[in-house]
């Protein structure tokens, strides 16, 4: 294993079907609930790998309270950043499928089961995402709690294309499950030059290499919009990376779009109130 990591709680040698990957950085307020939701999955043949990227809070102590043979824990000797940490997590994974998860979001119980079944039944799909519901902690501002109490759902196109990606990221990263061999065979990875939009760039790489994507029209994750999310704290970097990815997409489209798609229109197209999504509501 790499020198910069130290492993704990590796109690099994058999390769699991799914590797759930969580990069951890100062996640003390949320990480316990995130881990509990993974351990309650109806699909049980998985490993949960947590890689601590130099947290300065007590995230490590909280993680150590969990005693489950499916948990693998490691620490970077120094903070490497989110993209390098995600790439290292992929290199540590042993599962056929990789499920991405952030250290503050909540998987619904059937997430792994439904996504794994979808990939089993659709061998042509390389990466599958889902829809998700927005929520915030009780200690959030009153305005945030009121807005999110309406139960907003972020929806994505069922089979997104590069043209769809021109408008914005077409597969929300915390919901992604993909085939591990995709990274190796197609030389795809997370690029720090595009942090904190490294996930958008990952999807761009997949699309230009001809890989097929899908989104399951079910709510299988609760996204924690607590206000201190990494992408929100790095708004200028996010805007710059987003712009550069869109320029790269524009060069590959024919005819080339004449203007950038306003983000407010993206939100209007994708945000729905939970009661509005009918049969897809879970």
Quick: pLDDT tens for 79-127: 999 999 999 999 999 999 999 999 999 999 999 999 999 999 999 999 9
Reply yes or no on whether the pLDDT at 71 is more than 90: yes
Pick 18-280's CATH classification: 3.90.320.10, 3.90.550.10, 1.20.1050.10, 1.20.210.10. Answer: 3.90.550.10
Task: For residue 72, give both structure tokens.
Answer: 């693998």
Which tens digits make up the pLDDT trace of 246-272? 999 999 999 999 888 888 888 888 999
> Comparing C-alpha atoms, which of 44, 89, 35, 42 is closest to residue 63?
35
The answer to whether residues 34 and 6 touch, using CB atoms and an 8 Å cutoff, is: no
Task: For residue 37, give both structure tokens.
Answer: 């939701």
Contacts of 70 by beta carbon, 8 Å cutoff, 6+ apart: 12, 16, 39, 46, 47, 48
Confidence tier at 165 by pLDDT (50, 70, 90): very high
Q: What is the pLDDT of residue 282?
A: 42
Tell me how far apart the alpha carbons of residues 52 and 39 are, in angstroms, rounded to a whole number.
Answer: 19
Contacts of 61 by beta carbon, 8 Å cutoff, 6+ apart: none
Residue 80, φ and ψ in degrees, nearest 5: -105, -15
Which tens digits make up the pLDDT trace of 188-218? 999 999 999 999 999 999 999 999 999 999 9
Locate the domains of the chain by residue range.
Answer: 18-280
Q: What are the helix (H) ranges across the chain?
A: 31-39, 59-64, 82-92, 111-121, 142-148, 162-165, 180-185, 198-208, 230-233, 235-252, 263-270
Q: What is the pLDDT of residue 193?
A: 96
Q: What is the pLDDT of residue 277?
A: 80
């Amino acid at each position: 294993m790499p020198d910069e990591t130290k492993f704990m709680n590796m109690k099994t040698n058999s390769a699991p079907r799914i590797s759930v990957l969580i990069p951890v950085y100062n996640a003390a307020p949320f990480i316990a609930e995130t881990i509990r939701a993974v351990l309650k999955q109806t699909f049980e043949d998985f490993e949960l790998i947590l890689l601590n990227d130099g947290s300065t809070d007590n995230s490590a102590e909280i993680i150590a309270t969990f005693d489950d043979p499916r948990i693998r824990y490691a620490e970077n000797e120094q903070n490497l950043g989110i993209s390098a940490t995600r790439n290292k997590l992929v290199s540590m994974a042993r599962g056929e499928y990789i499920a991405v998860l952030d250290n503050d979001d909540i998987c619904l119980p059937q997430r792994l089961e439904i996504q794994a079944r979808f990939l089993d039944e659709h061998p042509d799909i390389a990466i599958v995402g889902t829809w998700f519901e927005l929520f915030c902690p009780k200690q959030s501002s009153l305005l945030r709690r009121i807005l999110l109490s309406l139960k907003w759902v972020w929806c994505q196109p069922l089979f997104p294309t590069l043209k769809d990606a021109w408008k914005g990221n077409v597969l929300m990263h915390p919901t992604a499950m993909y085939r591990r061999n995709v990274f190796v065979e197609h030389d795809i990875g997370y690029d720090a030059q595009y942090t904190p939009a490294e996930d958008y760039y990952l999807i761009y790489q997949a699309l230009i290499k001809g890989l097929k994507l899908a989104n399951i029209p079910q709510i299988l994750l609760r996204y924690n919009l607590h206000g201190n999310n990494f992408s929100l704290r790095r708004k200028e970097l996010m805007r710059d990376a987003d712009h550069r990815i869109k320029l790269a997409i524009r060069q590959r489209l024919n005819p080339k779009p004449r203007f950038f798609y306003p983000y407010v229109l993206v939100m209007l197209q994708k945000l729905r109130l939970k009661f509005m999504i009918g049969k897809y509501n879970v």
